[in-house]
Structure 1
């Protein structure tokens, strides 16, 4: 028996640390780890012990004997990686760099603005230093950012990364200030008066426009809004989503586009067992949408979606849930699917499958670009043109219009051509890139960025880990050099300031109360959770519990107490977070 990785990587690397024969690659320190779509188990050296499956915080690793038919392609995906990268000879252990120690004793306080993956990974890395305590701010009463409001509801395995976030929240020195909007309730200048460093991890909240005529018509909206709507984001529950159309068109072919297409064509009975918001589920259960066309300007080889997402879509087709058609251009020419990589082979297989009349269908249409949206007061169609691939002056592959156009009838057009960061109050902003200018995360001593606000909307959930580590290294440099120094404000002063500005501020206990209530309501309906979607109701639930106000998790060890011994657990395998914490205590 061998074990198989079945989804994108969360970059926790627990599986690598746990594996006694180092058969999972790439490992931290190897080329490609930071940008890998997923990790891979070498069937030739796997001993079937299950250590990796036990350690994985998102339950992405399974024995080959338990793979569902939809997951079977991951056997070939894992094996093919080692055909290209044999990883010989294998080192006996993954390389874990020596834990850095601060030269100055502290204590130090750091504010992290944004409680999504980038913010929590940043807090995690900072808290490996006993001299540092961290306060995490977010404008919503609930943390986790796009993990809660962006990951598709039928991808509960991806949302299992919340288990890792819960471990981070439980660390000594961690504290939440939820329901506090920095820039409105408290200013950056006020945070800088109370903290040694402030890190913004607020992401990229806007979607990119198509910049074509008719984009402002009713029936044209961003996929970002639709995702927030069905995921229960409080800001998106008042959207009017008209699903009284047989065809929807999604412009863009990244993972978000596939998510949207999959949800719009999903079986409502299957969706009902997820954490999809209640009213959007009711609307989707009455939807008239039978076909979703996903448009890509370029060809199959340049598609932005990842292989795991395509495998998931192919699995639904294999199971007979939906049909998936592939058109390599306006004429449906399949000769353009001419590569021999795994993505192209999957697309060829999908293109060759017969269609079942009446079954909901996702059409992956390449070499097609939008020209304008058609309609008077609302969308009735989208005019598109065929494209061909060419090289620009810098050697990049670009899509060039062929001049052949047609109108696709539709009542719903969703743009999914990427996110874009908006200016953040009191921070510099590069309008060209949509990010905050920085030097490896440092805006200036005392002010830092991580996540999408730093690097742009690229990568996966796990990509934020390496990004956060780079930023934390700059923070530590500045703390050691004295370039940033605290104002000596105590915790009581911080709590007093925030509580005065935001009387309904929540701490970890408040979030735990919301989480418990959502899970309780979900359990009654056979669902993982039933989300609260109104801020007022979240606050009522939180304050009905005990101690919703912010409190720190335990006490930080005195700065000089850096040496000790932590024995490894006798059962199970530690996450890399816990392992790293053990290394910290070894001095």
Structure 2
């Protein structure tokens, strides 16, 4: 009897490459965009963030009075809408799910969680109340759910004299925000309690300290020029410190020096706060017992190697608040290697290295890859470089699609972790716009995690009702 061979059915469709991107800030979103925007490799991207909201430093790093820069989130949002990308917020890797567990759900992981830690001054008195990193102030005025609201507001309630250590853009952001008048901040998306505290704060003097000269400051000219337009503050500089530089400088430095020389004849004005840029000065000790009362500052000189060296000449500046803005550094994610010196993940062209050897399926992009350098747009090229490495590994067979795995969001839900998906984030977004409209503002940031999740549940309830209606 002849053997009848069944007709072959269609081959099962192979699932796409599953990639988890940890961190939904600019680096993570640009990585997701690069993955979703190519057609060589079918992909499905889970964009994971521990906050219920996306955008990272665009939402909680860029100063709220930089309205045009913060509008970048409208551009970044296009990636969240892509059919190959799923936003998975309110999930903390290492807490809600271990890194090993996550890697069993996906074929590759791209770490883009940034560098949220701060660098220390390493001086006596640094831990006194009233001394804090710029990250603490920035997260407060941007409405980050983890901000130390009580700590910042208690200090600002009595802060007449503020010293900001550092001469980068973040230092200028802090100095500028603390000296703006209420009318200048009203159109921002700051939480209402932040506006109220800043309006009542008794700040009269802000001094920005740089240990080297104005030519070595790292702020951008655009950021610097904004100081000259403050309605309630006068910018002060020492004419001797911003005189003609005898050495050749690049154009950006020349523009900065020209801008500061335009303020050289400024003097304090009655009724206005003063914002003083002071160079060749470094803090050597913070004074006080129960709280900061002053900063002992040493005059410096720049040696032949460009290093700031102390001259032994010291003075004391009164200070109710000292903000250090001397750099960010990355923190380790449980299960991920980190170079403690640089605060970055060891890598080769974006491929994570473990004990000097490439770790299959692990990649890194953004600040946790290269350190806290560049502007927001720098992350786009950086993320594309990493994704290029990932796609090269697929082409070479070093990265392949594994077998079927459970859905990440379903697994989290089964253990009681409620991920915030795109529709829930859109509900949060709508709630912030509606709250802003009550005060004639485009948006007011929701700062409390419970409020954020309550807004997200509005969308979940609506979706559940629609499902029930469809079934019925």
338 and 501 in structure 1: CA distance in 2 versus 1, 3 angstrom threshold = farther
Query: 1:338, CA displacement in angstroms?
Result: 5.6
The residue aligned with 1:379 is 292
Residues 337, 348 of structure 1: 8 Å contact kept = no
User: Which shows bigger deviation, 514-523 or 106-115?
Assistant: 106-115
Normalised to the residue count of structure 1, the TM-score between the two structures is: 0.71
Secondary structure of 1:402 counterpart: strand
The residue aligned with 2:90 is 179
What does 1:268-307 align with in structure 2 at a 5 Å threshold? 268-307=182-221
Distance (Å, rounded) in 1 between the aligned partners of 2:418 and 2:125? 42
Matched, 1:448 2:357: no
Distance (Å, rounded) in 2 between the aligned partners of 1:544 and 1:440? 43
Matched, 1:230 2:144: no
Query: 1:321, CA displacement in angstroms?
Result: 3.7
The alignment yields a C-alpha RMSD, in angstroms, of 1.8
Distance (Å, rounded) in 2 between the aligned partners of 1:156 and 1:378? 35
Residues 181, 232 of structure 2: 8 Å contact kept = yes
Query: 1:337, CA displacement in angstroms?
Result: 5.6
User: Which shows bigger deviation, 253-262 or 128-137?
Assistant: 128-137
Residues 507, 548 of structure 1: 8 Å contact kept = no
- Structure 1 stretches of 4+ with a deviation exceeding 6 A read none
Distance (Å, rounded) in 2 between the aligned partners of 1:249 and 1:403? 20
Residues 301, 308 of structure 2: 8 Å contact kept = yes
Query: 1:254, CA displacement in angstroms?
Result: 0.4
Distance (Å, rounded) in 2 between the aligned partners of 1:327 and 1:386? 14
Distance (Å, rounded) in 2 between the aligned partners of 1:499 and 1:439? 35
Residues 121, 324 of structure 2: 8 Å contact kept = yes
The residue aligned with 1:474 is 389
The residue aligned with 1:27 is none
403 and 379 in structure 1: CA distance in 2 versus 1, 3 angstrom threshold = same
333 and 495 in structure 1: CA distance in 2 versus 1, 3 angstrom threshold = closer
The residue aligned with 1:73 is none
The residue aligned with 1:252 is 166
Distance (Å, rounded) in 1 between the aligned partners of 2:83 and 2:72? 20
Q: Which runs of 5+ in 2 are unaligned?
A: 1-13, 353-358, 464-472
Query: 1:453, CA displacement in angstroms?
Result: 0.5
Query: 1:175, CA displacement in angstroms?
Result: 0.2
Indicate which of 137, 154, 161 corresponds to 2:65. Answer: 154
Query: 1:521, CA displacement in angstroms?
Result: 0.8
338 and 288 in structure 1: CA distance in 2 versus 1, 3 angstrom threshold = farther
Distance (Å, rounded) in 1 between the aligned partners of 2:242 and 2:395? 59
Q: Which runs of 5+ in 1 are unaligned?
A: 1-104, 550-587
Matched, 1:363 2:272: no
Secondary structure of 2:136 counterpart: helix
203 and 297 in structure 1: CA distance in 2 versus 1, 3 angstrom threshold = same
Distance (Å, rounded) in 1 between the aligned partners of 2:119 and 2:201? 26
Query: 1:272, CA displacement in angstroms?
Result: 2.2
The residue aligned with 1:427 is 336
The residue aligned with 1:552 is none
Query: 1:530, CA displacement in angstroms?
Result: 1.3
Matched, 1:458 2:373: yes
